[in-house]
Every structure is written in structure tokens, then in C-alpha cells.
Copies of this chain bind each other. A is one copy, B any other.
């Protein structure tokens, strides 16, 4: 079978997507971050990459160019990657999943999950510039993510990693799942 192996990764803010991405990177995956498309658009427009600006641009792009616009813009990045296996960070809807499946027959949808309480604590303690300062801002961001269909992508994931425990546990789970995906598609 030809073509790259593409693993789509979905998860609510703070669920632990970046940990999974790092595990994949260490296993030789190329990384494409869907949010970068939105960040590039913000930069083109001379706007700061604040969560509000990025959220608004994302909704705008989808409205103008359809639900799979960001997936379409990522396709080239995936093809250009030098690696034969690529993880795509930040799947947000089933429309995106369909687009990737059409472009890359060897596609697997992976999701990572943690409770709202766990996610909030993580983000609050991380305090990256775009992390929420209180529960209300956190909740609004959750609702914005769900409004584009992220919940559906999580519900329909082929592999789901629960990330409530320590870092070593989630790393081990991520490696296991990626090995399974490779076994299915690489033979």
C-alpha cells in the first residue's frame, strides 16, 4: 500500500495532546499543527495570536471556506513533510477527518481525554500566554471548541487515551496506541 501514514489527534484544551505529539515525534513522526494555519492567517492580517483572535479567525475561515478548510490547508504540509508518518495535532471536526481520509487512505483518528477539572488544573498551572486565568474563560473556550464539532471527533475516535494519571502512564499509553496503528497500516 502506498502513501503516508497520517494520525489525526483530537482533544479538549489541556487533555494532553502535546504529550502525545512528543511521543510521536520521538517515534519518528513528522508533526503538523492545525492551529498553525490559523496563526499564519492571524499574522498575515497583522493580528496578535490571542485565543480570542485565533478563535474568531478559525470560525470565520470555516464559515467562508467550509468546515474542512483547515484540513485542506494542512494537506500540503503533510505531503511536504519528509517523514513517512505524520501526526496532525488539533483535529476539530468529523468534516476534517473525512477530508484527511480522502487524501490519505492510511489515516487513524486518535483522541486524548481528561475531565474538565483535570484539564483546568493543568492549564491553570501551565499558564502559557494563551491559558485561561479562570474557570469561566476556560469554560467558554471549551464551548467554542465543541461548537465546531470537537466532541464528535472525540466520540468517533478509533483510539482513545484517558489521561488522568501521571506523565509516564500517558506516554506509555500513547506509544502503545501508535504501535497498534502502525501494525495495522505498515504491514
* Residues of chain B lying within 8 A (CB to CB) of residue A94: 146
CA distance A50 to B105 in the complex (A): 35
Query: CB-defined interface of A132-156 with B at 8 Å, one 1/0 digit per residue?
Result: 0000000000100010011111111
Chain B residue nearest to A117 (CB atoms) is B158
Q: Would you call B12 and A159 a contact (CB within 8 A)?
A: no
Task: Identify 8 residue pairs between A and B in the complex whose beta-carbon atoms are under 8 Å apart, listed by A's number.
Answer: A12-B156, A116-B158, A146-B156, A151-B152, A151-B153, A151-B154, A151-B155, A160-B160
CA distance A108 to B52 in the complex (A): 30
With a 10 A CB-CB cut-off, give which of A142, A158, A160, A162 has the most chain B CB atoms: A160
Q: Would you call A142 and B113 a contact (CB within 8 A)?
A: no
CA distance A154 to B115 in the complex (A): 10
Chain B residue nearest to A150 (CB atoms) is B155
Chain B residue nearest to A157 (CB atoms) is B115
Q: Would you call B152 and A146 a contact (CB within 8 A)?
A: yes
In the A-B complex, list the 8 residue pairs whose CB atoms are closest, starting with the nearest: A151-B151, A151-B152, A151-B155, A115-B158, A154-B155, A146-B152, A113-B160, A160-B162
Given contacts A146-B156, A150-B155, A151-B156, 11 further A-B pairs with CB under 8 A are A12-B156, A94-B146, A113-B113, A113-B160, A115-B157, A115-B159, A115-B160, A146-B155, A151-B152, A160-B160, A160-B162
